[in-house]
Structure 1
Amino acid sequence: MERRLAAVLAADMAGYSRLMEADEQGTLARLRTHRIELIDPAIAKNQGNIIKTTGDGMLVEFQSVADAVRCAAEIQERMHRRNADVPDDRRIQFRIGINLGDIIFDNDDIFGDGVNVAARIEQLADVGGFCVSQAVYDQVRDRLDIGFEDLGERSVKNIARPVHVWRALIARPGDRRDDKPAKDDERPQTNKPTIAVLPFANMSGDPDQEFFVDGLTEDILTELSRRHELFVISRNSSFVYKGQSVNLRDVAQKLGAQYLVEGSVRKGGDRLRVTVQLIDSATDAHIWAEKYDRTLDDIFAIQDEVTSAIVATLPGRVEAAQQDRLSRKTPSSMAAYECVLAAKVRHHRSAREENEMAQELITRALELDPDYAHAHAWRGCILGQSWVYGWCEDADATFAKIEKELEIALSLDDNDADVHRILAAINVNRNDLTRARYHQERALALNPNYDLVVVQQGELLTWLGHPKEGIDWIRRAMKLNPHHPERFWSHLGKAHFAARQYPEAIEAFMHMSSTDVLQHAFIAASYGQLGDATAAGAHMARIKVLDPDFTIEGFLDTLHYANEADAEHLREGLKKAGQPVAQA
């Protein structure tokens, strides 16, 4: 046995039994995700050592008291942000207690009074908070930017003497949007496009339809709020104008909104018509308008369907309008958001020179706003593109930068779907499809109507050996964003090929204007499987011009099939197209 002085952190999950009873599999999956993405990395970053884990808790040893307190604060602050969009009855939250004392180490476990005190202090903590002992408080009171409230001496179970306890006053970031009605002279302080959804008008003459109309408006607000590249004015602010005849420009000025969404609902017989339009408040221009006609089979299903259609389309229309404005501005006058937007445009062109320009723009955005989580996420994405395509001089150093950017983005905003989307993509390219799936599922949960997340779900399913499901997801992404990047066709072509749908694969790749090796290789393999040697040979000849060193095995190494049968299927198609297998 070994005995030494150490800081002990005891953590316990609140409401574990209730959550497990309600949804055992889902609770375990969410807890595992929190461990992988947040808790274990925070412990490692602060030099902690996990000694013991139970189903709903853990004991962690730290050599430094300050490291233990920093770790607890980081976990609780970031968990609070993660839970912002989660219903109360599904939130995973922790209590944490920290003590400094004499610890006995024996057979990879720890014992002693120091451990017992930490566990009892944890039980006194608020859900989502943490408490520390007097010994811990004395060590950190003047060293950390964390306030403490004196709870005095407390009698705790199985400890003979009273324990002096202090409650940490950690930051509790609220939701990203203000819930107070806006005043006339207030403006949202944000570098993102600001959008207000006005209450939809009930044109049916049926007061009973008010619940549907208000519910539709609130659903659109909630779903748009998932898009972290937008700033959405709160419900309390926009619903002030319910039932009023208003001047839209005045409303936009009072709310500080660049864009307004307004609409109406009309019921007639067994049919329902919903109209919606997006307005640029600076010019009164109608950027986009749409009508949705539905039968009244299930009014709540209609509400979900219309909401999904609207929130899938609106962000793309806002971005297109912003890009139009951006084309008339010089880079030196761009704000942080506009730099991010311009960087995205360059990134989507998938060329080395465009990637370099995207890196410059995203760096400029972070110079303007170092705490812009979405910009950090996209810097990781843009660097990731250079890493995947080999456009960087030092692959290891670039990957370290990617990891750093995503870690910063996660610490600033755990609920940004882009962060998890990019982490999923990076792990696909590392052939770690299990971890990629965790992040992909998180991204989908955070924003199920984001075209880049939806198309990536289709791509991942193709790699995992489920291409027919992948095709459905990719086509859904194309429907969500009719102005989608060209690479969506590449994802669709790969999925059709894996599904043995060769004509459809060729057609998808033919939609692409770019002429890269991957495009020609899959077309050649498709023609090879169809037995068209002439067409297959023409594309193989083009590959040899583009890449004289091309080999089947080298090409397969750039792909990420989980099943060897899928890789062999592509290998066979390329061999039939006339490309010999490289000799060892």
Structure 2
Amino acid sequence: MAQQSQPVTYKFGSFALDAETGALIRGNTPALLGQRGAALLRLLLERASSPVGKDALIEAAWPGLNVEESNLTVQIAALRRALEQDGGERWIETLPRRGYRYVGPPVTRGDTNADEAGNSATLCVPEKPSIAVLPFGHSVEAAWFADGMVDDIITGLSRIRWLFVIARNSSFVWRGRVADVKQVGRDLGVRYVLQGSVRRADDRVRINAQLADAASGAHIWAERYDRTVGDLFALQDEIALAVVGAIEPSLRRAEVERIRRKRPDSLDAYELVLRAQPDVDSGMPDRAAIALPQLQRALALEPTYALAHGLAAMSHHNRFLRAGLKEEDRSASVRHARLAIVHGRDDALALTFAGFSLGMDAHDRQAAFAAFEAALALSPSTALAWILGSVVAGWAGEAERAVDWSERGIRLSPFDPWAFAAYDAQALAHFCRDRYAEAASAAYKSNLANPAHSITWVQLAASLAALGRFEEAKAAAACVLELQPTFRISSQFAGVACAPELAAKLGEALRAAGLPE
């Protein structure tokens, strides 16, 4: 005898939808939605947090029929009225000219009989990384400031294309409650939780923020900001920008660690890209050779994946500049950069990597800064755009912009994997201005941040030689050749189109340090 399928129930907030009968139950009180209303709500709940097009909704409620769009509008309005007792009229978001999206409390799905037997339902969690920003605890006089800052943080995180961010209406149900991050993760269906506090005393404001893994409860990142009260709106913007800038690389590191525990043959395009990123971030050609096959697999799965193209561009740049200046690597870098721009007009990180390759490998600095500025217009907290832009400016001899952009990047993300590049740009800028002690200091910071990158040793060797510290300069030069045996001063400068005046000064110092012409 064939086994009968179990009735399916969707639970969200204080409601439950019986998909078989179309009954919407709140507490013990049922309200019949009707066949079409139930079909619409079921589809929205099944695709919770994802856009659902009008055509798909019409087909679900009126299968095979040609109906006016106004019928859908009427049914959605009826659904909102049915949910309004708990503020649920805001749970169905209108996407103009596109469709609708469910943005309410997390949805659990289970069969009715199993629930009655005491088995727990399965939470519908987004596949991509997800985060909830809880209302920050605050003193009475800091209430509006704390809420405004959290709103800005949610907005900033929402601009990160690869991250799913819980809507404010859902995360703010935790206001005034003691938050256990594991429980928050279960209730809101997220992988990460950001929480914090704001305290004001006289003319000082102190903000604490902590990012935690909701599965383990372990802290991933924490920071404290102490500021003098001035323009509170400007301060609110500054702290929100700093928090978002610091969170993005921290989340990426956490995601990379999570994905490393999965079997390589089970990875999808997104996971392949994340797995490749640390090797790309190294800046060195041997690691690029590890990253490129994973990026090629990702692009075979999704040929228009903009970030995969951006990282492939950077990988080929690393090979070009530090593995023999081969034309095939330069042209591949530029080709992938242009594809990243074509497919990634809404992806700040893809535009950032594309801009760097265009500036460094195509020697088109105008196009590079157009890409960087487009990335920053999308997401002002993209620290990497400031950092890589500073490097392009540094080799162009634009000392003022190199220092300004590098400092902005480091302020946003002091522990960024690319922080070494920001210090490298500062070393170039100080060297350009004949400030050799400052150049050496920045080069040491770059070297400490990434001692496996040959260019950090190039800047250190040049700065020390310019200071007359030749023994130390020669030791740094030996490290350059150990990491990059093909390094030659003239070809390296030609590869990055180094500004002529800077090339002449750097070249003299590097020859004095013992590096080959």
- Shared fold, TM over 0.5: yes
The alignment status of 1:503 with 2:437, answered yes or no, reads: yes
* Aligned residue number for residue 108 of structure 2: 185
User: What are the superposed Cα offsets for residues 472-528 of structure 1, whole Å, 9 maximum, x if unpaired?
Assistant: 432443341325344444333323322322233334434256467645544443344
- Counterpart pick for 1:424 among 351, 355, 365: 355
| Structure-2 change in CA distance of 1:178 and 1:570 (3 Å) | farther
Does structure 2 conserve the Cα–Cα contact (< 8 Å) formed by 1:376 and 1:408?
A: no
The alignment status of 1:447 with 2:379, answered yes or no, reads: yes
Using the TM superposition, give the Cα deviation of residue 371 of structure 1 relative to its aligned residue in structure 2, in angstroms. 5.6
The alignment status of 1:350 with 2:286, answered yes or no, reads: no
The alignment status of 1:205 with 2:128, answered yes or no, reads: no
Distance 2:417 2:286 in 1: 21
Distance 1:549 1:321 in 2: 35
| Structure-2 change in CA distance of 1:335 and 1:254 (3 Å) | farther
The alignment status of 1:338 with 2:338, answered yes or no, reads: no
1:160-559 paired onto structure 2 within 5 Å: 180-185=103-108, 190-201=126-137, 203-206=138-141, 209-244=142-177, 248-367=181-300, 372-390=305-323, 394-395=328-329, 398-399=332-333, 401-403=335-337, 405-407=339-341, 409-410=343-344, 414-429=345-360, 430-479=362-411, 480-485=413-418, 486-510=420-444, 511-512=447-448, 514=451, 518-536=455-473, 551-559=488-496
CA RMSD of aligned residues (A): 3.6
Using the TM superposition, give the Cα deviation of residue 221 of structure 1 relative to its aligned residue in structure 2, in angstroms. 0.4
Distance 1:549 1:376 in 2: 27
Give the letter for the 2:198 counterpart.
V
Q: When the two structures are superposed, what TM-score results if normalisation uses the length of structure 1?
A: 0.60
Using the TM superposition, give the Cα deviation of residue 259 of structure 1 relative to its aligned residue in structure 2, in angstroms. 0.8
User: What are the superposed Cα offsets for residues 46-66 of structure 1, whole Å, 9 maximum, x if unpaired?
Assistant: xxxxxxxxxxxxxxxxxxxxx
Give the letter for the 2:163 counterpart.
L
Give the letter for the 1:554 counterpart.
S
| Structure-2 change in CA distance of 1:221 and 1:373 (3 Å) | same
Does structure 2 conserve the Cα–Cα contact (< 8 Å) formed by 1:377 and 1:409?
A: no
Using the TM superposition, give the Cα deviation of residue 198 of structure 1 relative to its aligned residue in structure 2, in angstroms. 1.8
Using the TM superposition, give the Cα deviation of residue 442 of structure 1 relative to its aligned residue in structure 2, in angstroms. 1.5
Residue aligned with 2:417, SS:
coil
Does structure 1 conserve the Cα–Cα contact (< 8 Å) formed by 2:306 and 2:343?
A: yes
Using the TM superposition, give the Cα deviation of residue 380 of structure 1 relative to its aligned residue in structure 2, in angstroms. 3.5
Give the letter for the 2:348 counterpart.
A
Distance 1:340 1:523 in 2: 32
| Structure-2 change in CA distance of 1:390 and 1:238 (3 Å) | same
Distance 2:260 2:341 in 1: 32
Give the letter for the 1:419 counterpart.
A
Using the TM superposition, give the Cα deviation of residue 173 of structure 1 relative to its aligned residue in structure 2, in angstroms. 8.2
Distance 1:518 1:257 in 2: 40
Unaligned runs of 5+ in 2: 1-68, 70-94, 110-122
Between the aligned residues of both structures, percent identity stands at 32
* Aligned residue number for residue 569 of structure 1: 505
Q: When the two structures are superposed, what TM-score results if normalisation uses the length of structure 2?
A: 0.67
Give the letter for the 2:297 counterpart.
R
* Aligned residue number for residue 116 of structure 2: none
| Structure-2 change in CA distance of 1:538 and 1:274 (3 Å) | closer
Does structure 1 conserve the Cα–Cα contact (< 8 Å) formed by 2:388 and 2:421?
A: no
* Aligned residue number for residue 21 of structure 1: none
Distance 2:225 2:471 in 1: 48
Does structure 1 conserve the Cα–Cα contact (< 8 Å) formed by 2:309 and 2:336?
A: no
Does structure 2 conserve the Cα–Cα contact (< 8 Å) formed by 1:347 and 1:358?
A: yes
Distance 2:384 2:146 in 1: 30
Moved more, 323-332 or 346-355: 323-332
Give the letter for the 1:458 counterpart.
S
Using the TM superposition, give the Cα deviation of residue 183 of structure 1 relative to its aligned residue in structure 2, in angstroms. 4.5
Give the letter for the 2:140 counterpart.
G
Give the letter for the 1:204 counterpart.
S
Q: Alignment length, in residue pairs? A: 404
Does structure 2 conserve the Cα–Cα contact (< 8 Å) formed by 1:458 and 1:473?
A: yes
* Aligned residue number for residue 560 of structure 1: 497
Using the TM superposition, give the Cα deviation of residue 265 of structure 1 relative to its aligned residue in structure 2, in angstroms. 2.6
